[in-house]
A and B are shown apart, each in its own frame.
Chain A
Amino acid sequence: MTGLYRHFVLPVPEGIRRAVSGWLGRLMEAGRFDAVLAPCETTSENSVVTALIRQPARLDRVDPVAPVALVNAARVLSDVTRTQSDTRLAVLLRPCEYRAAVELAKLKQVNLGPVVPIGLDCLGTFSPADYKAAANAAGGGAALTGTWVDQLRQGQPPARAEFQVRPACSVCPTPVADLPLRLGLVGAPAGSLLVEASGEWAAVMEALGLDEVSSAGARGALVSRLQAERAAASDRALAGYLGKVRDLPALMAELSNCLKCLNCRRACPMCYCRECVFETPLFDHQSGQYLKWASRKGIIELPTDTLLYHLTRLNHMSFACIGCGQCQAACPVNLPLAYLWRALGEKVAALFDYVPGRSLEDPIPLVTFKEDELEPR
């Protein structure tokens, strides 16, 4: 979708956060957009939430590098754009969040018309609880980020001795989104960010007075190497996982702690139904029904239909799984949903040569069909 990038240097003499806030503020004042949706550090300085910013003066909380994502931003982007479309909105998105936004746009749950998506590099995020503990220990998010920002510049994922990036991030092959405007940290020289801009955005960066450089330097090679390494590692891990769940009893064992709280479906950006079938009266059974089932089988688990719930979700949504892993992050019993969904999602999507998040033009498999396909049935 994007043409050739031109590369501009955004100096960050007083830190990345201040530089990006200033850059966004100047674009806002230049009338490029009227509001910003971005990750922002909370006043407590130990958490980063998604915030909608309407006044340039309030951009000071924007934190584009903290490795934590409480929600998939596409989910809240849906709230902000679904029914109103006249405010031009810049949105800072990680690659998985942009993929989710593309899928939701096709489902008419996000309106990308007035949206200026700005890509962020992402080498993985920590669970919010891990991030909070680490930020508390480091004396705040800014100090914590300082400990790994040089690693990120060299393409090394954020790392701590005590914990690792979320499982979904550990199998994510896409550190960089395919967007016409993006903020590059991987491969950027110390003391700067690289702004990659194509099309009209290159002219806008020129007008802002950013220095253009002839190439992205080490960035291109670093990103290519990262993508290749991560794709190979991801394929290995996911194939290994699928090898573990070759029958239903194995899957039942994986999911045996499921509470049927439906948090995974609430956190999932692709589970866009206003009302899930599992929340409808379809599953409000008469009390005697449970006893009838128990009589037939001798014993039944309550709540019922936990396996049915996960398998139904896999049937409804797995081809659209963009791999953000928010399902597993939201799970109170840490079911291994991220691997399950990524691994099986790829297989299901392959039936239709579909790659979720790749393009606004690829129709979603369940809203289209071909005259001759999938034969013999």
Chain B
Amino acid sequence: MTRDEFEPKIIAILCNWCSYTGADLAGTSRIQYPPNIRIIRVMCSGSVDPLYVLKPILEGADGVLIGGCHTGDCHYINGNYKARRRVAIARRVLEQFGVEPERIWFRFISASEGKLFADTVRDMVGTIKELGPNPMRAQWEI
């Protein structure tokens, strides 16, 4: 596979109240964005255990996008702030082991920001195309 043909697979874990609804708005507004993401809806970004970030990376997903509400907007008061800390830890741990932190994105996207959601996915796909495929895809001893 040459770099030009490389189409990243990105797992997007989106909070029900903001980012998932933002993705929905992008769709109903007919905003185009690359089809590289597989969306998993969760109730809150604060409910995303690092396990669910690590597993896709170890299985060879090229990136993980976590979407939560803007600060102060979390429907569970502060889940997004806690998610921000968890993501920082996951990026720091993975960075030690040569996994580029740029493969893990955490973004605040509200229910009204369909365009921001589409732009975020486009930016992320571009960044990960630069990084290239996740070499873990070929590993079996995980």
Contact = CB atoms under 8 A, between A and B. Distances in A.
Nearest to B98: A247
Interface stretch (A17-25, A81-89, A367-375): A367-375
A369 B92 contact: no
A169 B35 CA distance: 52
A318 interface: yes
Given A252-B142, A311-B54, A377 B105 contact: yes
A334 interface: no
B59 to A, nearest CB: 9
A351 B49 contact: no
Interface stretch (A99-107, A215-223, A295-303): A295-303
A277 B93 CA distance: 19
B51 A251 contact: no
A348 B87 contact: no
A308 B93 contact: no
B75 interface: no
Contact of B89 (A247, A250, A315, A370): A315
Contact of A374 (B78, B85, B107, B140): B85
A307 B142 contact: yes
Interface residues of A, number: 41
A245 interface: yes
A377 B98 contact: no
Nearest to A253: B141
Contact of B141 (A256, A316, A373, A377): A256
A350 to B, nearest CB: 9
Interface in A329-365: 344, 347-348, 351-352, 365
Nearest to A249: B139
A365 B85 CA distance: 8
A111 B39 CA distance: 43
A137 interface: no
Contacts of B96: 242, 245-246, 344, 347
B47 interface: no
B106 interface: yes
Given A277-B51, A374-B88, A248 B105 contact: no
A247 B93 contact: no
B106 A377 contact: yes
B128 to A, nearest CB: 16
A211 interface: no
A377 B140 CA distance: 31
Contacts of B97: 245-248, 250-251, 311
B82 interface: yes
A232 to B, nearest CB: 22
Contacts of B141: 252, 256, 301, 307
A296 B11 CA distance: 18
Nearest to A311: B54
A352 to B, nearest CB: 7
Which of B87, B99, B140, B142 has its CB near the most chain A CB atoms (within 10 A)?
B142
B34 interface: no
Contacts of A147: none
Interface string A231-264: 0000000000010011111111000100000000
A366 B79 CA distance: 11
Given A277-B49, A305-B142, A366-B82, A347 B92 contact: yes
Given A315-B93, A369-B78, A369-B84, A246 B140 contact: no
| Top 5 A-B pairs, shortest CB-CB distance | A247-B98, A315-B50, A369-B81, A307-B142, A377-B106
Interface of A: 242, 245-252, 256, 277, 297-301, 304-308, 311-312, 314-316, 318-319, 344, 347-348, 351-352, 365-366, 369-371, 373-374, 377
